Amino acid sequence: MPTTIEIIRRKRDGRELDPADIAMLVEGYARGDIPDYQMAAFLMAVFLRGLTTAETRALTEAMLYSGAVVDFSCLPIPKADKHSTGGVGDKTSPALAPIVAAAGVAVPMISGRGLGHTGGTLDKLEAIPGFRTDLSLADFRRQVEDIGAALIGQTPEIAPADKKLYALRDVTGTVESIPLITASIMSKKLAAGIDALALDVKFGSGAFMKSRAAAQALADSLTSAGEAMGKRVAALLTDMNQPLGRAIGNALEIAEAQQLLRGEPVAPAFRDLTLDLAAHMLALAGRVETIADGRRLASATLASGAALAKWREIIAAQGGDPRVAEDDRRLPKAAHEAVARAPHAGRVAAMNTEAIGMAAVILGAGRLTLDAVINPAVGFHMEVALGDRVAAGDALVRVYYDDAAQVPEVIERLSAAIAITAD
């Protein structure tokens, strides 16, 4: 077997690595036998030289099998999940999981926390009083078998090599590598024992992939890796040039997701994306024959109240107050409200969605440091969407806050992030 330095040199020089070499490297790093500085050198070589499809699959497999893989073979129904590459105001998971589970497909969902300007599903779920996302792997398996869905964070047993590698990528300038992103995402998702996966790959000002071409390249890589490992995968490319829906902030986004589950009016883009993802999950899992059939089944599950009932069941199973599902007033609520207003009349021509997301982080809805404590109550309500016409002084964004110290900067950032062209 080659030494670690020989593997690093081969990739540095642009040569293709043998799957056994990649497995040896990942296993050695997960055990602690390979130091951070050598793995950092390997990550930079991958960042600069890339990986072939075969190498990406080998890296994904090595990271996947560095820990436990849940076995749901005893469950007689198909298993499906969804992954989003991250955006602003994206609260599809809390709405999507109960819709798909109520329609007859199990949803073992392993989610993440906020990253940079993007919100995290775990942070949103933990805005529900008592809701636990830190279930053990045994409890996760038991809940999926009992009620058909569970939404948790990555446990110590799930892809431990990914957890170490992700932290190292974050401090070595190697996050934005498509092969490394692919292996990270797919190793965690496949460890949950799924049969099918719907991918929401975002592009635009609020996405990590700013261009549609970059998003397509990532979608192709993720799809190839999943299919190579025997899973049914489909990718949707979705626009993140404005926030998804109206709410931004953890409790506010849970409320908007619940409004959809209750059949109340929500932003059309949010409803459409949730139903599209549900339709793909149902079709990939074999519950329906076509995407159109999947959308009809998802819509019927919403209309019947079955999805809302499943959501109450999920909340109760994970320690939360199920009364929240019908009553958003039981969610954390900020004490104060401010408004960012239009400086002049015109049309909303563009949004810097990343800047809007960062304004929410500064307000306390996300983390500026790893040890920062999120305030689940704070956030925004978008009063305008792209293309809307506004008069001078009209509300652009409502800001819900507890600490007034950040409000002037937040209002300034929001005003600068929304471009209004004069009539």
Distance CA 145, CA 210 (A): 39
Q: 132: Cβ–Cβ under 8 A, 6 or more apart, which residues?
A: 318, 319, 320
Question: Is 163 one of the catalytic residues?
Answer: no
Q: Which of 57, 83, 231, 312 is catalytic?
A: 83
Distance CA 209, CA 220 (A): 13
Q: Which of 93, 184, 187, 221 is catalytic?
A: 184
Q: CA separation (Å) from 134 to 68, 153, 157, 280?
A: 16, 6, 12, 28
Q: Which of 91, 169, 189, 232 is catalytic?
A: 169
CB 397 within 8 A of CB 383: yes
Q: Which of 188, 232, 280, 413 is catalytic?
A: 188
Q: CA separation (Å) from 5 to 1, 45, 273?
A: 12, 12, 46
Question: Is 188 one of the catalytic residues?
Answer: yes
3-state secondary structure 27-44: HHHHHCCCCHHHHHHHHH
Distance CA 361, CA 412 (A): 14
Question: Is 83 one of the catalytic residues?
Answer: yes
Q: Which of 81, 162, 200, 276 is catalytic?
A: 162
Distance CA 102, CA 73 (A): 20
**Tokens at 243, concatenated:** 């926030």
**Tokens at 110, concatenated:** 């392993």
Full strand arrangement of the beta sheet holding 232-239: 80-84, 196-203, 232-239
Active-site residues, by number, are 83, 162, 169, 184, 188
